[in-house]
Amino acid sequence: MLNKVLLSTDVTLACVQHALSTEKEEIMGLLIGEVHENNSLVSIVSSVILRRLDKKPDRVEISEEQLVQATLRAEELAAEVGRPLRVVGWYHSHPHITVWPSHVDLATQSMYQRMDSSFVGIIFAVFLTEQTAKAPSIQITCFQSVNEGSSQSRREIELEITNNNDSLTINNFEILTQLPAILKEEEDESYINEAGQCDTDIITRQHNSAVLTIAIGHIVEKISRPMLEALVARNALHSVRLRALKKRHQELMSMLDNMSCNV
Ligand SMILES: [Zn+2]
């Protein structure tokens, strides 16, 4: 029985960034990782952002095609790192609502668990305003479904966020930076759907184009720019660390040289 889930910091960052990309709709993705110790432990090392097919506020769905694509992605990563990686779970966001899974979430989770008993669900509750803190906060829960007759209840799974220094870091940063492009695809798609639906007069066409322009402006302003700034700052910090480490390396090497001269 599954007892514990390890979630890497990179994946946590990518999922939180994804969850914070909209406070109006739920977002969703799949989790890639490895199952250990007789299905009692799952470690999550990467994720796949899913494009929303239907932007209803409380409805998230995974298509067969998306599941197949994620499975192929997991196989590619497995070959890259030489470990048995596969799709091990799913995540979605709860903007402005409690972190606990809904009945729909528990039914969805139960369906996946029937196919794979160690499959997990993770929920990121975002844009929460705590009465005490008066500041937006984030809550995370990891769960599985337990069948009780015709309905399901949740079983919480211990979740530990771990610092991973493995070869998937670059891959996870790529996932993070793909987010604005995926969001733009969603906007383009709803624009095309809208344009195809009615015999549009010029005012409607103008309106739809304006809505698309505003949406893309929003993505650039609220997601791309802050992400770029954060990555530039991180890069600057790493450069400073790198210089310090190189200097230390030189010092140690010269100490070593002196020691071998004295021997
Ligand atoms: Zn939910």
The encoded tokens of residue 214 equal: 């505003």
Contact 33, 77 (CB under 8 A): no
Total-model pTM: 0.83
Q: What residues in the chain have per-residue pLDDT under 70? A: 53-61, 131-133, 165-166, 197-199, 263
Q: What are phi and psi of 195, to 5 degrees?
A: -65, -35
Candidates 76, 105, 77; CA nearest to 90 is: 105
Gap from CA of 3 to ligand 1 centroid (Å):
21
CA of 92 to the centre of ligand 1 (A): 7
Place of tokens 């705590």: 130
CB burial string 190-206: b at 16+ within 10 A, e below: bbeebeeeeeeeeeeee
Residue 263 alpha carbon to ligand 1 centre in Å: 68
State the fold for domain 4-162: Cytidine Deaminase; domain 2 (3.40.140)
CA of 133 to the centre of ligand 1 (A): 24
Report CA(94)–ligand 1 centroid distance (Å): 6
Task: Report CA(101)–ligand 1 centroid distance (Å).
Answer: 5
Distance from Cα 157 to the centre of ligand 1, integer Å? 16
**Ligand 1 centroid – CA 249 distance (Å):** 50
Contact predicate 11/48, CB 8 Å: no
d(CA 111, CA 37): 23
Check residue 229 and give its pLDDT: 93
What is the distance in A from the centroid of ligand 1 to the CA of 50? 15
Residue 65: the pLDDT is: 87
- Residue 16 pLDDT: 93
d(CA 148, CA 127): 32
- pLDDT at res. 198: 64
> Nearest Cα to 12, choosing from 120, 149, 137, 122?
122
Place of tokens 């020691």: 259
- Provide the residues around ligand 1 (an ion) whose CB is within 5 A: 102, 105
Please count the other Cβ atoms lying within 10 Å of the Cβ belonging to residue 164: 18
* 3-state secondary structure string across the chain: CCCEEEEEHHHHHHHHHHHCCCCCCCCEEEEEEEEECCCCEEEEEEEEEECCCCCCCCCCCCCHHHHHHHHHHHHHHHHHHCCCCEEEEEEEEEECCCCCCCHHHHHHHHHHHHHCCCCEEEEEEEEEECCCCCCEEEEEEEEEEEEECCEEEEEECEEEEECCCCCCHHHHHHHHHHHHHHHHHHHHHHHHHHHHHCCCCHHHHHHHHHHHHHHHHHHHHHHHHHHHHHHHHHHHHHHHHHHHHHHHHHHHHHHHHHHHHHC
